[in-house]
Amino acid sequence: MAHNLDPQQLSDEPCCESKVERKSHHSEEVKKNLVTRLNRVEGQIRGIKRLIENDTYCDDVITQISATQAALNSVAKILLEGHMKNCVVERIQEGDTEVLDEFLITIQKLMKK
């Protein structure tokens, strides 16, 4: 039975979680790739902070922010692909079509950025 979900209802729920706790199904290789990318983003954020502390020219800071956003988008794309191929497919196979509403809301959240 599908329900129309309000984006507010899902805003605090982690990936693949609904009434029953769900977990992602990422391989160790994918997890390592994601962690490596996030470590790089973390370093970029620290670098942006230093640029601001050192009164770096605004355009240079904005360029670094843009690069960091692109890196985060890359992580999101990898997660989205895995979510679609694993979590969403699995839940549909279980007869849970509510996951489609969740997925559409997730896409809407990503497209706002």
User: pTM, whole model, 2 decimals?
Assistant: 0.74
Mean pLDDT of 71-78: 96
Write out pLDDT tens, residues 10-40: 344 445 544 567 777 788 999 999 999 999 9
- H, E, C per residue of the chain: CCCCCCHHHHCCCCCCCCCCCCCCCCCHHHHHHHHHHHHHHHHHHHHHHHHHHCCCCHHHHHHHHHHHHHHHHHHHHHHHHHHHHHHHHHHHHCCCCHHHHHHHHHHHHHHCC
Q: In order of start, what are the domains of the chain with their CATH numbers?
A: 26-111 (1.20.58.1000)
pLDDT on residue 93: 96
